Amino acid sequence: MDFGHVTIKTLANITGFSTTTVSRVLNGTYKKYRVSEKTAVIIHAEAKKLGYIPNQAAVNLRLKKNQSIGLIVPSLANPFFSTIASIISKAFYNRNYSVYMIDCDENQQIEKETINKISAQNLDGLIVIPSGNEYDHLERIISIKLPTIFIDRYFEDLSIPFVSTDHFQGALSAVELLVKNGHKKIACIQGNPTVISSTERVKGYKAGIEKYALDFEYVGGHEFTQQAGHEEMKRILELEDRPTAIFALSDTISLGVLEALKEGGYHIPEDFSLVSFDNSLYLDYLECPITSIAHPVEKIAERAVELLFESMENVLSVQDSSLFAPKLIERDSIRKLC
Amino acid sequence: MDFGHVTIKTLANITGFSTTTVSRVLNGTYKKYRVSEKTAVIIHAEAKKLGYIPNQAAVNLRLKKNQSIGLIVPSLANPFFSTIASIISKAFYNRNYSVYMIDCDENQQIEKETINKISAQNLDGLIVIPSGNEYDHLERIISIKLPTIFIDRYFEDLSIPFVSTDHFQGALSAVELLVKNGHKKIACIQGNPTVISSTERVKGYKAGIEKYALDFEYVGGHEFTQQAGHEEMKRILELEDRPTAIFALSDTISLGVLEALKEGGYHIPEDFSLVSFDNSLYLDYLECPITSIAHPVEKIAERAVELLFESMENVLSVQDSSLFAPKLIERDSIRKLC
DNA sequence: GTGAAAGCGCTAACAA
DNA sequence: TTGTTAGCGCTTTCAC
């Protein structure tokens, strides 16, 4: 086997057929053009022998599509996103599409460059979990009619449909559970405040505070990371008027909370109650298993894939979005105060 | 802003210059050709106004490169791989490259298709963590001279350099630590047995058994997943002659072990000692913090990036590979038996 | 300083 | 049943 630099032209020269015929045989359209079986066999054989693989860049340029989609995520270091990414990948593979994933490091600037570049690759579609609150670059996506779906984070002002957990409901239910257990002083540690998954959860938290007329309200934090959670929890530990419960808006944040508590010699749920968001696999095996809000990950992925295919057929709008109810998984991290 | 379908031809028509000049200005080579500043300004302005973005497929086809590399991983659902992926991404971004990641679901067949397809995209390089022990598809990579580096899993028979943790040493040191604590019956739960990261660790385990002349040897498991770990641990619990310690070859497997132990009402380290591999962030906060072998992740990523750039300059060989020593992070999951 | 023209590898009208 | 030709959007040689 040579493998050197085999194109349809090489094969055309060797077999004596035209590049057209070779192309037709190799891309599977030859039946339509009634190329003879004999010819097809010859060409296939030669292609196999030389290890021919069609140049995707050429195919793309010509067809403006290539059976592949892009998946833009804020950070694969966050298990929630890497899990979603993995599931989405599989779903597209089953539909015979490749998924090219890009990690934007929760950085809006990187996201913009990335989206500009990838949108010029002639991909068939895009699934994006945005890293910030700007969307001028996304307007371009719309104007070039590149089918796109948001997951988890979205912009209600844009015509791009989204699929997400109902962040507000999730947060509200967490507060309610805490209140039901007698907590009146609940602090919230948020993630990236430029992003709707964080702001909606904060809204849910505040709605809970208001609903039960609690007079303690505290929102800290600024990033969905362990480090940020750690910093914020240390700050909370220095408060004069300390909360009895912490509501951390992601499992990564919760890890930081646990870190700070461990350093300070505090325990869950004796010293603080904790509710988290994301429901990572390891939560069950922690020193104190943590109550957490679970995203309906499979549902979200499935629906996103479905929507993307739909939007490859006809133009969709925000109206086609889905918000799925999260599920509160109760474990042992809430102390009963009443 | 229109954004419709803007090419250098559009720009050429509007500004009255040729596509050549427009191209030169827009891709930054215009100084070399001494295009006047005035012209450059005009063209830049128009390009900006129309939101021009170069069609990557066309650039690729022409230049056979596009400032981007592919990263093939077995599964992003495994935190070890998603962490590596995230770090590598960042490193390349800093060098002005995009990274397209692909999740192969630990499936060799998917990996083959994926690599064939992506290698025909005119990428500038590839970093791959293979999903199996076949490498015919990788020979093609070599023959088309696509710069490639393996991470974590590799083939010593191929000329492609690799960067990896020293799996053998890691495993051996785990067994030694266990032995030092009086354990004589150590079971090993392996991952994907077609892959060197698993087989080398198993070899290390066996070397330890031999070194200390232990007469208990047990290797079970077949996948780097929680589910497989769970199954295997349940099997071990039914053994007549049970081990006192479990050596799980990944944190995902360990999670399965914990699951089975919890179901059976067993505890670490009282009932079983446990040593794991990967050193995930949450290990510190488990009911019993788990001793684990840490990959030098940053070092690995850094070296891989370095090597890939080198191999874009001149052809490298396996000789250029690096094996980094892992670090055993001791926590509380080993019971002292002596 | 700028442009015409060829060509990267592929597909698809149109022709035969 | 097969081939000719044009062209996707870009870069680059060669010419002026």
pLDDT in the model for residue A1:
42
Residue-wise pLDDT for B28-63, tens only, equals: 999 999 999 999 999 999 999 999 999 999 999 999
Judge if the beta carbon of A55 is closer than 7 A to nucleic acid strand C.
Answer: yes
For domain B3-54, the question of CATH label 1.10.260.40 is answered with yes
B241-270: average pLDDT:
98
How is chain A split into domains, by residue range? Answer: 3-54, 67-165+297-324, 167-295
> Does the distance separating the beta carbons of A90 and B76 come in below 8 Å?
no
pLDDT in the model for residue B5:
84
The residue of A89, A96, A106, A251 whose CB has the most chain B CBs within 10 angstroms, and thus the best one to mutate to test that interface, is: A89
Provide DSSP, B264-331. HT--TTTT-EEEEES--GGGGGBSSPPEEEEP-HHHHHHHHHHHHHHHHHS---GGG-EEEPPEEE--
Strand A327-329 versus strand A291-294 pairing type = antiparallel
Show the tokens assigned to B127: 């970093």
Among A residues 97-116, those touching chain B with beta carbons less than 8 Å apart: 98-103, 105, 110, 114, 116
A139-151: average pLDDT:
93
Measured between CA atoms, the residue of chain A closest to residue B286 is A286
Mean pLDDT, all residues of chain A: 95
Quote the pTM value: 0.94
Residue-wise pLDDT for B161-203, tens only, equals: 999 999 999 999 999 999 999 999 999 999 999 999 999 999 9
> Which of B219, B216, B226, B174 shows the shortest CA–CA distance to B198?
B219
A238-245: average pLDDT:
97
- Answer whether residue A205 shows pLDDT above 50: yes
Residues from chain B contacting residue A114 (CB–CB below 8 Å)? 98
B204-220: average pLDDT:
98
Question: How many residues are given for chain A?
Answer: 338
Among A residues 11-50, those touching chain B with beta carbons less than 8 Å apart: none
Q: Which fold has domain A67-165+297-324?
A: Rossmann fold (3.40.50)
SS3 label, residue B112: helix
Listed as ranges, the nucleotides of chain D within 7 A of a protein C-beta are: 1-5, 7-13
The domains spanning A67-165+297-324 and A167-295 adopt the same CATH topology:
yes
D11 closest protein residue (CA to C1'): B62
Q: How far is the CA of B62 from the C1' of C7 (A)?
A: 9
- Check CB contact of B79 with chain A, cutoff 8 Å: yes
Residue-wise pLDDT for B217-231, tens only, equals: 999 999 999 999 999
> Does the distance separating the beta carbons of B55 and A120 come in below 8 Å?
yes
- Check CB contact of A55 with chain B, cutoff 8 Å: yes
Q: Which fold has domain A167-295?
A: Rossmann fold (3.40.50)
- Answer whether residue B4 shows pLDDT above 80: no
Angle at A89 between CA A156 and CA B121, to 5 degrees: 105
